[in-house]
Structure formats: structure tokens, C-alpha cells
């Protein structure tokens, strides 16, 4: 069997955006925005994500604001935040492959006000004294081992949060064979006097997918809808707005949440 050569990593034709995308061929999630939407990347229109525009509408926009983005994945929401006028976006990504994909698209799309950091945003929030006008966290909370701990940290660093997240619903999860196998441990927990239940979600075979974009452990913990909204209120977010609630999403119930103090 032929062995791989370092020379296989070289491009031998004229520069093009597709060459850069092909570094992670088969791993992209997003369709790129025009004029790059005909390039071969992913299939999800994240660069035109209506959820992000709904959130910014509820928040009165982000023009001139200092934004922290958690888990930017491929930079689609960074792109929306910049094009909607954010003064600065600090975007923290722990998945090294996703981080490099963000850098590729930052260069390709010419983003100027986004700064990508490679590392764990929980560790960052635990050690920084920075405050932000908005913390944007789409597709993040349900990948946490300690989701309530993250909500408590968000409350220390901002008065305005957007999240899109899945949540645990016993009827839906236990009534769906391919979901039920992932959720076998349910643990009563407490954080600073707030009591809730963690529903362990095991990634199982998803860990073998090259484009895996989950958390940094073999499992995460989901919250019920009641506990998730209760945690936001307990840690200071009293104005909570919900959109796009979907109990039939193939990966489990989900919704968009804007939370303000």
C-alpha cells in the first residue's frame, strides 16, 4: 500500500478559494455567502441564518457593540455580526479544525473586526474581567458538561445573551429510539442554590465523524426547558424571549432564546 507523502499537501495549480476550502474537504457544514456560494463547501445556509437576524432584531441590533461569540464553528455568525455593524467580535473556538476553518473564511471573506481565539471559552470566562455588550452562543449550551455553570458565567460578563440550543424533553427523547440510547443517566444537581437535573447525552458514534462539532468530552449534559429558563432567571436574566421552538427537530427539541437583564 502506498504511503502518504508530504508532497501530497502541496497545491500544484493556480491559487483559488476552492483550494483553501479543500483543506477540509468533506467537513464543511456551511454554504458560503455570495459571491462564493457556488464553491464546494457544506449544505447549511448558516451565513444567512434567520435565527441570528431574529435575535439581533430582539436586541435592537449590535451596531457599535463589543460582542463575545462562543463556538463560532465556521464563522457564519461572526460574518453576520460584522456585517450588522458590531465594533468588535471576539470568537472563541476549542475545536482546532473548526478554528482553522474560521481563519480560512476570515481571509476569504475579508472580515476585519473579528478576532478568533483558539481555546476553551469556559476557561476564558473564568479568568477574564472583560464585559461585553452581547454574548452570542448558537449551538453551544447543549454541548456543555456544566450548562448551568456556563449560564452563571454569562451573567457575570454581559446583560444580553442570545442562544440557540437543544433541551431535554423526556416524552420526546424517550419516545425516539435513536435518541433514547444517548440519554441513560439523569443526575440531580445544584449551583449556588439553584436546583436542577442534568441529563447526560453520550456522543457515541458521532465522535468518529471527521466534521464532529460537539463538545470537548465524550458526553455533555442537557437541561430540561424548565431548568434552562429557570437558570437564566435565577442568575439575573429576567426578560426572556423565545422563538423557533421545535419539538420535532431530528436531534431533539430546540429553541432560540434572547435573555436580557
Considering the domain boundaries, does residue 9 fall inside one?
no
- Beta sheet of 160-166, edge-to-edge order: 114-118, 88-93, 66-70, 134-138, 160-166, 254-260, 239-246
Maximum distance among all Cα pairs of the chain, rounded to whole angstroms: 62
Domain annotation covers residue 200: yes
Three-state SS for 126? helix
* Closest of 96, 81, 184 to residue 135, by C-alpha: 81
* Alpha carbon separation from 209 to 21, 75, 105, 204, 214 (Å, rounded): 18, 20, 22, 10, 11
Task: Flag whether 18 is in a domain.
Answer: no
Cell numbers for 4, please give them: 502518504
Tell me, what's the pLDDT at 210?
67
The CATH number assigned to the domain holding 93 equals 3.40.50.150
At 211 the pLDDT is 65
Residue 5 lies in a domain: no
Structural domain contains residue 14: no
pLDDT computed for residue 4 by the predictor: 78
13 within domain boundaries = no
The DSSP call for residue 163 is E
Range of 35's domain?
A: 28-260
Give the Å distances, CA to CA, from 114 to 35, 130, 139, 206. Answer: 20, 16, 19, 30
pLDDT tens digit at each of 261 positions of the chain:
567 788 888 999 999 999 999 999 999 999 999 999 999 999 999 999 999 999 999 999 999 999 999 999 999 999 999 999 999 999 999 999 999 999 999 999 999 999 999 999 999 999 999 999 999 999 999 999 999 999 999 999 999 999 999 999 999 999 999 899 999 999 999 999 999 999 999 987 777 776 667 777 889 999 999 999 999 999 999 999 999 999 999 999 999 999 999
Task: State how far the Cα of 39 lies from the Cα of 41, in Å rounded to an integer.
Answer: 6
What local confidence, expressed as pLDDT, does residue 2 receive? 64
Q: How many domains does the chain have?
A: 1
Residue 103 inside a domain? The answer is yes
Enumerate residues 6+ apart whose C-beta is below 8 A from 187: 197, 198, 200, 221
CA distance 215 to 129: 24
242 beta partners: 257
For residue 164, whether the previous peptide bond is cis, meaning omega lies within 30 degrees of 0, is no
Query: What's the pLDDT at 1?
Result: 59
Residue 84 grid cell: 450588522
Distances (CA, A) of 242 to 55, 86, 260: 9, 23, 12
Pair type for strands 134-138 and 160-166: parallel
**Does residue 124 sit within a domain?**
yes
Amino acid at each position: 500500500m502506498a504511503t502518504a507523502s508530504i508532497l501530497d499537501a502541496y497545491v500544484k495549480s493556480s491559487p483559488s478559494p476552492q483550494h483553501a476550502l479543500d483543506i477540509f474537504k468533506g467537513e464543511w457544514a456551511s454554504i458560503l455567502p455570495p459571491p462564493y456560494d457556488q464553491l464546494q463547501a457544506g449544505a447549511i445556509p448558516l451565513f444567512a441564518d434567520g435565527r441570528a437576524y431574529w435575535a439581533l432584531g430582539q436586541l435592537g441590533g449590535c451596531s457599535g457593540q463589543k460582542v463575545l461569540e462562543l463556538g463560532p464553528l465556521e464563522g457564519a455568525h461572526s460574518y453576520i455580526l460584522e456585517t450588522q455593524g458590531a465594533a468588535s467580535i471576539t470568537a472563541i473556538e476549542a475545536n482546532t479544525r473548526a478554528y482553522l476553518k474560521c481563519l480560512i473564511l476570515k481571509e476569504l471573506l475579508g472580515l476585519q473586526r473579528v478576532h478568533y481565539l483558539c481555546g476553551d471559552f469556559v476557561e476564558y470566562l473564568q479568568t477574564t474581567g472583560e464585559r461585553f455588550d452581547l454574548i452570542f452562543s448558537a449551538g453551544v449550551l447543549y454541548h456543555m458538561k456544566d450548562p448551568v455553570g456556563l449560564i452563571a458565567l454569562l451573567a457575570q460578563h454581559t446583560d444580553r445573551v442570545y442562544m440557540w440550543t437543544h433541551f431535554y424533553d423526556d416524552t420526546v427523547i424517550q419516545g425516539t429510539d435513536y435518541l433514547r440510547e444517548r440519554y441513560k443517566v439523569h443526575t440531580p444537581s445544584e449551583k449556588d442554590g439553584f436546583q436542577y437535573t442534568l441529563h447526560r447525552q453520550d456522543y457515541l458514534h458521532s465522535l468518529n465523524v471527521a466534521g464532529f462539532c460537539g463538545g470537548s468530552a465524550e458526553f455533555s449534559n442537557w437541561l430540561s426547558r424548565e431548568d434552562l429558563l429557570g437558570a437564566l432567571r435565577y442568575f439575573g436574566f429576567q426578560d426572556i424571549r423565545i422563538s423557533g421552538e421545535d419539538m420535532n427537530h431530528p436531534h431533539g427539541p430546540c429553541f432560540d432564546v434572547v435573555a436580557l437583564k
